[in-house]
């Protein structure tokens, strides 16, 4: 990441925790959120589960939540502070993530852009953002909490079906993990 950015591992109750919680609640609708504490400290230990705050100087400008699985990394949540969006922060942080995790593909989800839905344009912009930043739409979908998502990956040959199985495992065991 550019020298001006500093990722900080988030712990419950830390300053970074409150900074991330503010961005998290602003960026994601209630139906896509669980309490941040449950993501950071799942009830059952889940190896490779990390939340990072990204600072520019003393200001938290973004955060990301990433799981490490055997064959991929799952970028579960990624958000930039609202007043800094469309200013290059997201692209620079995505480049950092792709450069930092070269051993396995990074995979994630983007809401399926159903015509007529309230945030249709936002969903299109989100998919376009990821595609501009070296993520591929694998043209696979998964339904999580009654919402349909596209599967995205940093490699075209990423293990899409295994990723979907992992996401469904997390979904079906949500009480234990997040």
Q: How confident is the model at residue 170 (pLDDT cuts 50, 70, 90)?
A: confident
pLDDT of 176 strictly over 60: no
Segments making up each domain of the chain, as ranges? 5-177
Between 31 and 53, the more confident residue is 53
Least confident of 33-47, 48-62, 92-106, 136-150: 33-47
- The CATH code of the domain at 5-177 is 3.40.630.30
DSSP the chain: --TTEEEEE--TTSHHHHHHHHHHHHHS-GGG---HHHHHS-SS--TTEEEEEEEETTEEEEEEEEEE-SS-EEEEEEEE-GGGTTTTHHHHHHHHHHHH-TTS-EEEEEE---TT-TTHHHHHHHHHHHHHTT-EEEEEEEEETTEEEEEEESSTT--HHHHHHHHHHHHHTHHHH-
- Give 108-129 pLDDT, tens digit per residue: 999 999 999 888 998 999 999 9
pTM: 0.89
């Amino acid at each position: 990441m550019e020298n001006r950015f500093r990722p900080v591992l988030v712990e419950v109750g830390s300053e970074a925790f409150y900074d991330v919680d503010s961005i998290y609640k602003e960026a994601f609708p209630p139906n896509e959120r669980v309490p941040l504490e449950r993501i950071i400290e799942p009830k059952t230990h889940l190896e490779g589960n990390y939340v990072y705050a990204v600072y520019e100087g003393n200001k938290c400008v973004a955060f990301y939540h990433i799981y490490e699985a055997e064959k991929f990394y799952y970028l579960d949540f990624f958000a930039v502070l609202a007043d800094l969006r469309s200013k290059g922060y997201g692209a620079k942080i995505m480049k950092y993530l792709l450069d930092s995790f070269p051993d396995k593909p990074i995979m994630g989800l983007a809401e399926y852009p159903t015509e007529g839905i309230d945030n249709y344009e936002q969903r299109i912009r989100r998919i376009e953002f990821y595609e501009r930043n070296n993520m591929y739409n694998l043209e696979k979908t998964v339904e999580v909490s009654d919402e349909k998502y596209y599967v995205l990956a940093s490699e075209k040959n990423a293990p899409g079906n295994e990723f979907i199985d992992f996401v469904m495992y997390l979904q079906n065991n949500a009480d234990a993990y997040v």
